[in-house]
Structure 1
Amino acid sequence: MTMLRRTTLLLPLIALAAACGIGSVRAEESYPSKAIRFIVPYPAGGGTDTIARLIGTQLSQRWGQSVVVENKPGASGILGNDAVAKAPGDGYTVLMGITTVVQIPALYKKVPYKLSDLAPVSQIAKSADLVIVPRSLGIPTLQQFVEKARAEPGKFNYGSYGNATSSHLNGERFKQKAGIDITHIPFQGSGPEMAALLGGQITMAFVDATAAYPHLKSDKINVLAITGAQRHPALPQVPTMTEAGYPGLEANGWFGTFLPASTPKPIVDKLGAEIASIVKSPEIHKRLTEMGLIPVGSLPAEFKAQIEKDAVHWKNVVEAAKISLD
């Protein structure tokens, strides 16, 4: 009788669990069944926003569901990242993130979410910083710049597109590797930084390749090297920092998508596979290339491995340079 009572009491719980399981499977099979939100943690009109709208348009056409791009700028991307980290794990709130996603935990002591609260979906494209000097400086190679900087400590400077950005971190890493004393000058974005470089107001700059792309044929600049693990397709003659003799700057910048970590794996995989397919389509591959980017289109497991590797790299760079935004 006791066993019978226990079984009777358990039956409703078993039925509820089964129903929840069936409901979950059905939700995953029917995904997507409503509009999807792409959260961009930066203002409208920038590169991240442009890429979100490119991918969103294609996703909408393929899946027959609306994709709405919502800009949530603020706190170096933390506001938008946090909104997705705390969103329901149903696949309908997607983060269009950049490299700062993995840099933020090292730069801030207090962050309202953990990196593990976000599930990597697909790395869309890679970017890199170009090391550029005004041609009027008469310096054609990175080694010659280092030699001049060593001979005259404190005379030279380098521009970045903002404090604690990849260009700032790369610049500090370069200073350490080269053993030189050059002053950091931060700008409010790549546009003002590039303008200052073209105007000869700074002696060197780490400029995002997408911002420098329209100026690559200018007779006012010399491109000395590029960060990241490979040469840029548009600049096959420009060596990587490692090839130029300064290893430790192999990490690329990137654009990628994330979902809340609570999202079921089948939904993460389905969205990841679709975005990867979109990125590799001729139209989007061409558009990304024209932006100065290197298209990737990775699957969730590949992007996760890249995230883990990059998180360690940037943490080491930030600690060595003693940079903090708190």
Structure 2
Amino acid sequence: MKKLALALAVAMAIPLSAQAWTPEKDVNVIVAYKAGSGTDTGARLLMTLTEKEIGKAMIINNLPGADGKIGWTRLVKSKADGYTIGYINLPTFTTLANEKNAAFKVTQIAPIANHLTETGVVVVRADSKWQSLKELVAEAQKNDKLRCSTNGVKASNHTAAQLLAQSANFKYKAVPYGGTADQLMALRQGEVDFSCAKIADVAKLVEGDKPVLRILGVFDTKRLEAYPNVPTLGELGYYDQWYGSARAIVAPAGVPADVLEYWVNTFKKVLNDPAVKEAHEKGGLTIDFKDDKQLGELIKSQDVFAREVISKLY
């Protein structure tokens, strides 16, 4: 009894602010794209696995629209208490944050962890007449009416198309859709001529006995290990740097230090779990974990990229 009384006295003597924070109720996770999109698929997989770690439900709130602005505006304005976190896509988030009269700023989020980093690719239908990126570019240079589906105005895949077009010296018609899933469906249905997307979004569509899409080029400085026959854009004389998208977990700025520490440690543990990595690989995803400090540096670099590179593409 004396030991119990002493333990209680010690616990009561510790200030509430010094006690480790853990969620006592379910957590909302804001995803700024529709259910079934590439971002949503990755987020749902991760949050399902995270639920097992924390013992609370991670409830996905899909708030699509305006190329991500609706969801991310809600995210930065949410109460910074640890019960609302969200997903951002880079560089789309920083691109939109740098627009005139932007609804949110980079400083309104607190980095937690990077989840995925995916390389961009150029794709056409599997039955397309263009067998190579050189052929597609040659056609585009002669005919500025080729149509390219994107995942939204100034969204990540639109930026990829701009990088290709400007480095290859051609014009095209960008056709925005509600997200990557929709833009790829438009390509599959023949509504557009080509698309730029991320490798994880197209992997299942370019493989198997009856592929529906074909990869023509990769936005990287070296060929992808899984697709050694697909050239990089740089090899062909076009954009010669890596370009793709990072998908990361953040909280509203102002979240208490102990709450932020909890989420950083939780996602570090989950994303480094071999079983979690295996589950992602089965889903065609490869984890690229970065902690809060590394993610913070990535966000800063993408903010610079948005101002110095992307701003000149539109």
- 1:105 corresponds to: 97
Q: Does 1:75 align with 2:61?
A: no
Letter in 2 for 1:23: L
Letter in 2 for 1:295: I
Higher mean alpha-carbon deviation, 285-294 vs 252-261, is at 285-294
Q: TM-score, normalised by structure 1?
A: 0.78
Deviation at 1:177, TM superposition (A): 0.9
> Post-superposition shift, 1:41?
2.5
Give runs of aligned pairs for residues 2-41 of structure 1, distance below 5 A: 22-26=15-19, 29-41=20-32
Q: 2: CA distance between counterparts of 1:156 and 1:116?
A: 38
TM-score (normalizing by structure 2): 0.81
In the alignment, is the contact (CA less than 8 A) between 1:280 and 1:296 conserved in 2? Answer: no
Counterpart-to-counterpart distance in 2, 1:137 and 1:52: 32
* 1:103 partner amino acid: T
Residues 45, 280 of structure 2: 8 Å contact kept: no
Q: CA offset at residue 256 of structure 1?
A: 1.0
The answer for the alignment partner of 1:84 in structure 2 is 75
The reply on whether 1:171 has 2:165 as its aligned counterpart is no
1:250 matched to 2:242? The reply is: yes
**SS of 2:251's equivalent?**
strand
The equivalences for 1:43-62 within 5 A come to: 43-62=34-53
Change (3 A) 1:182 1:59: closer
Structure 2 residue aligned with 1:15: none
Match of 1:224 in 2: 216
Specify whether residues 228 and 269 from structure 1 end up closer, same or farther in structure 2 by C-alpha distance, changes over 3 A only: farther
| AA matched with 2:200 | T
Q: CA deviation at 1:310?
A: 1.4
Q: Is the 8 A contact 1:125 1:294 kept in 2?
A: yes
* Aligned residue in 2 for 1:286: 278
Could you tell me how far 1:123 is from its partner in structure 2?
0.8
1:131 deviates by: 0.7
Percent identical among aligned pairs is 23
Alpha-carbon distance in 1 for matches of 2:212, 2:45? 32
Change over 3 Å in CA distance of 1:228–1:85 after alignment to 2: farther
Alignment of 1:139-178 (within 5 A): 139-150=130-141, 152-154=142-144, 156-178=146-168
- Give the drift of 1:103: 2.0
8 A Cα contact 2:30 2:86, kept in partner: yes
* Runs of 4+ in structure 1 over 6 Å off: none
Aligned length: 299
Residue matched to 1:210: 200
Q: Does 1:303 align with 2:295?
A: yes
Distance, in Å, in 2 between the alignment partners of 1:269 and 1:128 is: 30
Distance 1:247 1:235 in 2: 19
Given that 1:251 and 1:313 are in contact with CA atoms closer than 8 Å, whether structure 2 keeps it comes out as no
Larger radius of gyration: 1
Distance 1:159 1:43 in 2: 17
CA change 1:74–1:179 in 2 (3 A) is closer
Deviation at 1:198, TM superposition (A): 3.9
Contact 1:173 1:249 in 2 (8 A): no
**Which amino acid is the alignment partner of residue 259 of structure 1?**
A
Asked if the contact 2:65–2:178 (Cα under 8 Å) also holds between the matched residues in 1, the reply is no
Q: Once structures 1 and 2 are overlaid, which stretch shifts more, 301-310 or 268-277?
A: 268-277
Change (3 A) 1:229 1:290: farther
RMSD: 3.0
**Given the superposition, is the C-alpha separation of residues 70 and 183 from structure 1 closer, same or farther in structure 2, using an over 3 Å criterion?**
closer
Summarize deviations over 1:162-219 as a string: whole Å, max 9, x none.
3322111111121111112333333444344434434555433213333322221345
Cα displacement (A) at 1:119: 0.7
Which letter maps to 1:203?
D
Any gaps of 5 or more consecutive residues in structure 2? 1-13
Deviations 1:81-133 (A, max 9, x none): 23332333332221122233222113x32233321110111110122332123
Would the aligned equivalents of 2:37 and 2:181 in 1 still touch at CA under 8 Å? no
Q: Is the 8 A contact 1:125 1:288 kept in 2?
A: no
Alignment equivalent of 2:311, drawn from 305, 310, 319: 319
